[in-house]
Amino acid sequence: MMTWWKEAVVYQIYPRSFQDSNGDGIGDIPGIIQRLDYLQTLGVDVIWLSPVYASPNDDNGYDISDYEAIHPEFGTMEDMEQLIDEAKERGIRIVMDLVVNHTSDEHAWFQSAKSNIDSPYRDYYIWRDPVNGKAPNELRSAFSGSAWKYEPQTNQYYLHLFSKKQPDLNWENEQMRKDIYQMMNRWLDKGIGGFRMDVIDLLGKDADNQITGNGPRLHEFLKEMRRETFEHYDVMTVGESWVVTPETAPLFADESSKELNMMFQFEHLMLDEQPNTSKWQLKSLDLPEFKQVFNKWQTQLPETTWNSLFWNNHDTPRIVSRFGDDQTFSVESAKMLAILLHMMKGTPYIYQGEEIGMTNYPIQQIDQAQDIESLNLYEEKLAEGWTEAEIMETINAKGRDNARTPMQWTAGQNGGFTDGEPWMTVNPNTSEINVQAAVNDEQSVFYTYQKLIHLRKEHPIIVKGTFKLLLKDHPHIFAYEREFEGETWLVTANFSPETIRCSLAETSTPNIPMIANYDRSEYDLNELTLAPYEAFVVKVESNEN
């Protein structure tokens, strides 16, 4: 099996917010093509492209009305093919977002299914009779409210685990599965680099028993999907799941499972919320607990199960605002977070703008929010008695719009994102945080990312080394060791705005600096004084030499 994806670094593009080329205020595919040289300079190997398919945009493209058409606001199929080719010329593969837990309610299948109980597409979705005049059961939508919507035309409810305009597909239906596989194969034949698979653990759901994730037939479907589609291509696959654990990840991603190459898991991003509530119930991060979660994922997976590494995507707040300090130490903390993550075992993913340290963009009022999740949440929490201020606080901390403000290319108008009126306001800090400034400044966050990518290509220890957590109970220091074929690297990060003293070796062990976020020529591992958010990586020389 080809495993180039273990060495690769992936860059996620949220196309709506990346680069507009035609002045309509919405990012598009020709805009991405214009920026391929920039991505090549950064050094990434793969682009994961969030959905560009035809969609009414109820959930910004995660509601697909035609899997084989490009949304006109993003361009044409010719543009898409050109993107695949031009990326390939630069050694970059395009991974498509595969959203097959649900379609849009405007997809032709649902349109036919909705009004006609005898339609061949009726059973492509999940329909149930009312129970005592109400919804069949208590299942909830991830975007607030019941997961069932009543359709008066046929006197049944359909299931939607996301918005009402995202009806869930019925994976029990064999013909539906075949249609999906054929669609996937047509994309694979276009030369794409693989699939990122949206909420993949929901496919095997058993709605009647209110089982959503990890349903009874899930792994059977994923094995079949692989056999029928990507097994025959040299591509990568990554499945998204909010509930996967180190125990269940091998079911999806172990080589022997014959399903996917790796999973996206979010356990490290769920520690700033009250346990067993929702992401909206805020709590501050406890570093020992955070380290423990990484330690688990780094050490408990079998050798044959690969993992992914990420801080950000289009659903999560900007990492420098979340776990760093986006005011006083924005550059230091952005670099610290990058170093800490990219030195771990797994395939790193960079979300657009992360490589220049883009930050959250707080809003004052709910009418400034764009995202359906935040808008629905606002209504739900108001009804539950939360105050306006409490709701705005949590939306500003966790809302998805934070990640979706346009990419900041320049200090100029609209950050160089568009010549028109941007679909979403550009963060005014584009006057300082932007690609042009970053590329012109050797000390910028951008060059830390670039160097991390280069190091990964040059040193097999980063991909293959073992992981050992150090100082596991230290409240401010995150330190670990990697080891491969007699070579040892030590990664140390001060996760706080204070100066911290600590010791990582019993003696002043000799070492060679590999990358750091402060300018220092040597490190005394026996007696370290770390500046705010300081991070460094050294190759430790054995004392005998």
Cβ count within 10 A of residue 422: 21
User: Is 286 a residue of the active site?
Assistant: no
Contact 112, 119 (CB under 8 A): yes
Q: How far is the CB of 233 from ligand NOJ (least distance, A)?
A: 23
Nearer to ligand NOJ, 244 or 437 (CB): 244
Considering only residues 109, 125, 158, 162, which one is a binding residue for ligand NOJ as defined by CB under 6 A? 162
Is 198 a binding residue for ligand NOJ by CB under 6 A? The answer is yes
Retrieve residue 168's tokens.
């869930």
Nearer to ligand NOJ, 97 or 326 (CB): 97
Considering only residues 98, 199, 424, 479, which one is a binding residue for ligand NOJ as defined by CB under 6 A? 199
Is 280 a binding residue for ligand NOJ by CB under 6 A? The answer is no
Is 62 a binding residue for ligand NOJ by CB under 6 A? The answer is yes
Retrieve residue 471's tokens.
């100082």
Subset of 476-535 contacting ligand NOJ (CB under 6 A): none
Q: How far is the CB of 315 from ligand NOJ (least distance, A)?
A: 5
Q: Catalytic one among 58, 79, 168, 240?
A: 240
Looking up tokens 């249609």 gives 179
Taking Cα atoms as reference points, which of 331, 350, 337, 354 lies closest to residue 519? 331
Q: How many helices (H) and strands (E) does the chain have?
A: 17, 20
Is 201 a binding residue for ligand NOJ by CB under 6 A? The answer is no
Q: How far is the CB of 212 from ligand NOJ (least distance, A)?
A: 12
Residue 189 DSSP SS3: helix
How many binding residues for ligand NOJ (CB under 6 A)? 8
Side chain identity at residue 204, one-letter code:
G
Taking Cα atoms as reference points, which of 538, 445, 491 lies closest to residue 291? 491
- Per-residue binding letters, 72-91, with ligand NOJ (x by CB under 6 A): --------------------
Cβ count within 10 A of residue 403: 25
In the bound complex, which residue of the shown chain has the CB atom lying closest to ligand NOJ? 62
Retrieve residue 98's tokens.
């595969």
Is 315 a binding residue for ligand NOJ by CB under 6 A? The answer is yes
Indicate the pairing of strand 528-530 with strand 500-502.
Answer: antiparallel
Which residues share a beta bridge with 481? Answer: 468, 490
Please write down the HEC assignment for all residues of 271-317.
Answer: CCECCCCCCCCECCCCHHHHHHHHHHHHHCCCCCECCEEECCCCCCC
User: Is 73 a residue of the active site?
Assistant: no
Q: How far is the CB of 395 from ligand NOJ (least distance, A)?
A: 16
Nearer to ligand NOJ, 291 or 404 (CB): 404
Retrieve residue 252's tokens.
């999806």
Retrieve residue 538's tokens.
């050294």
Residue 467 DSSP SS3: strand
Question: Can you tell me the distance from the alpha carbon of 424 to that of 20, in angstroms, rounded to the nearest whole number?
Answer: 12
Q: Catalytic one among 198, 259, 325, 534?
A: 198
Q: How far is the CB of 364 from ligand NOJ (least distance, A)?
A: 24
Q: How far is the CB of 213 from ligand NOJ (least distance, A)?
A: 13
Nearer to ligand NOJ, 99 or 340 (CB): 99
Contact 539, 488 (CB under 8 A): yes
Nearer to ligand NOJ, 93 or 314 (CB): 314
Q: How far is the CB of 375 from ligand NOJ (least distance, A)?
A: 13
Is 64 a binding residue for ligand NOJ by CB under 6 A? The answer is no
Q: How far is the CB of 135 from ligand NOJ (least distance, A)?
A: 20
Is 371 a binding residue for ligand NOJ by CB under 6 A? The answer is no
Is 452 a binding residue for ligand NOJ by CB under 6 A? The answer is no
Q: Given CA atoms 228, 232, 233, 237 in this order, what sign does their dihedral have?
A: positive
Nearer to ligand NOJ, 205 or 482 (CB): 205
Subset of 98-137 contacting ligand NOJ (CB under 6 A): 99
- φ, ψ of residue 196 in degrees (nearest 5): -100, 125
Retrieve residue 466's tokens.
């073992």
Which residues share a beta bridge with 211? Answer: 206
Nearer to ligand NOJ, 205 or 314 (CB): 314
Q: Which residues bind ligand NOJ (CB under 6 A)?
A: 59, 62, 99, 162, 198-199, 314-315
Residues identified as active-site = 198, 240
